[in-house]
Amino acid sequence: MPFIQITIAEGHDVSVKRDLLAAVSAAAADATGTPESAFRGWLVEVPDTAVMVGGTILHDTRHPRATP
């Protein structure tokens, strides 16, 4: 039974998470020839204060500070 873990920053809508898991599961089944029903997939959400993208903390990108 193959396991797929996806780690993402918190803040995504439930429908986005559902679509992501479905797409990854289907792609893995297609790539391996293993029935999709054999896959187990889950998301691990981390705080956006613990994710860095391009040298910037994701929280700061999502919530820029107003400059006086």
The reported pLDDT for the residue numbered 1 is 85
Give pLDDT tens digits for 4-58.
Answer: 999 999 999 999 999 999 999 999 999 999 999 999 999 999 999 999 999 999 9
pTM above 0.85, yes or no: no
CA distances from 29 to 3, 8, 17, 34 (A): 11, 21, 18, 5
More confident residue, 43 or 65: 43
Task: Name the pLDDT band for 67 (thresholds 50, 70, 90).
Answer: low
Q: How is residue 57 written in tokens?
A: 């903390």
Q: Delineate the domains of the chain, giving CATH numbers in brackets.
A: 3-62 (3.30.429.10)
Please give the Cα distance from 51 to 23 (Å, whole number).
Answer: 23
Query: Which pLDDT score is estimated for 68?
Result: 61
